[in-house]
Amino acid sequence: MSDSPTTPSAPRPKGEPRFPDGPSPDPAGSHFERRIRSFQPRRSRVTTSQADALQRLWPKWGLDIDGQRMLDLVELFGTEQAELPVVLEIGFGMGEATAQMAADDPDTGILAVDVHTPGQGNLLGLAERNNLTNIRVANGDAVILLREMLPPGSLDGLRVYFPDPWPKARHHKRRIIQPDFLDLAAPRLKPGALLHCATDWEPYAEQMLDVLTAHPAFENTQPDGGYAPRPSFRPLTRFEGQGLDKGHVVHDLLFRRTSGR
């Protein structure tokens, strides 16, 4: 039986956390600067099981992106896993693919970022039920996380799967894969780290390929300079399957961080 939605409660006072021990509704607060963002928070209904996972597991496996401290990834994932490589995943939806990748590769830590509260709760629940101790869930703006909370050379990979394509021309500036974003991400990636993007939106795939190809800190893993076959470690998600049923073509882009700039 599926979970029933939580019963609506009285409005919370402004600034009060949705869950007392869970993710903050505005973790960076006044630290946010005025700039165009690639995401827009979705205020979907949280089920009882998601709310329970957020309440119980957020203090253990969750973190708010407040921009006020530098993260120690060894400490974040546990000192007993000092050699654990860490991959940053930006935007994980409901978390099914993230949980599957964590289960398939328990020797890699996944720092998964999103602003969708139901998805955060769902992923935490999946992690607990499947004993996936290599997942940490971050709430907030990935740009602030990269810029102010992750040390240089701390990441072994970066995954951006099915980001919002912002299809209208006037919204293209909101797309996350832009030269400025790559300038920010590159120093946080170790030489040889993989940047993996996937989209089913053809014009966005073309833009991604152009932007990544032009950036001096990344090189295409494909000898022909084109798209990559879907790697075995990226699961076929329900969302992707729905797109394929509609005739969408999914493009994977696999670029490697160079040892230069």
Catalytic residues: 164
124 phi and psi angles, rounded to 5 deg: -60, -40
Question: Exposure of 228 by Cβ count < 10 A (0-12 exposed, 13-18 middle, 19+ buried)?
Answer: middle
- Which tokens belong to 97? 């693919």
- Which tokens belong to 10? 């009285």
Name the nearest CA neighbour of 119 among 131, 127, 108: 127
Helix or strand run (H / E) with residue 203: helix 202-214
d(CA 208, CA 175): 10
| Strand bridging mode 189-199 / 155-161 | parallel
Radius of gyration (Cα) for the chain, nearest Å?
18
Greatest alpha-carbon span in the chain: 58
User: Using an 8 Å Cβ cutoff, are 57 and 22 in contact?
Assistant: no
d(CA 123, CA 136): 9
d(CA 255, CA 185): 13
